[in-house]
Amino acid sequence: MKYTEEITIDLPREKTVELFSDPESMKKWMSGLKDIKVISGLPGKNGSKTELEFEMGSRLTTMTETIQENNLPDSFHAKFETQGVVNNQENYFEVTEESKTKWVTKPEFLFSNFMMKLMGWLMPGMFKKETRKIMRAFKSYAESQKD
């Protein structure tokens, strides 16, 4: 399942990308994120792997992020893996006006078990809704960080 979402952030691209790429900032806008651990490579560099631990209700879920291509401030591509799901995500940051940034994300979800394949087929809107929720949370956080 592949789709595109976009949002405009009322901040210059440099500041937007600085906040987007800061692991400590992630905890402030990514719902449920509890811990971030680099497990291989240099943080922020191509090929590096980071373990992200999320609290979802009463469960803890671990996701592994592998940076595929870090060309910030223009683009950032990563693979996120968790049980039954791989999300190959392309992110682009464009200057739209003097002090605004358009963030375009292109996730591609691949499902490896029956239950996740079924969810992807029956409820594709759930994945899109979650993407929009995350993007809105980042926008809100980033815009609250204006100097």
pTM for this entry: 0.91
Return the pLDDT at 123.
76
* Domain extent at residue 122: 5-143
How many residues make up the chain in this entry? Answer: 147
Number of domains in the chain: 1
> What span, in angstroms and rounded, lies between the C-alpha atoms of 116 and 85?
7
Residue 56: which pLDDT band, with cuts at 50, 70 and 90?
confident
CATH of the domain at 132: 3.30.530.20
Q: How far apart are CA 101 and CA 84, in angstroms?
A: 33
Residue 58 scores a pLDDT above 90: no
Residue 109 has pLDDT above 80, yes or no: yes
Three-state SS string over the chain comes to: CECCEEEEECCCHHHHHHHHCCHHHHHHHCCCEEEEEEEECCCCCCCCEEEEEEEECCEEEEEEEEEEEEECCCEEEEEEEECCEEEEEEEEEEEEECCEEEEEEEEEEEECCHHHHHHHHHCHHHHHHHHHHHHHHHHHHHHCCCC
Measured CA to CA, the distance from residue 16 to residue 147 in angstroms comes to 12
pLDDT at 35: 95
What's the pLDDT at 9? 98
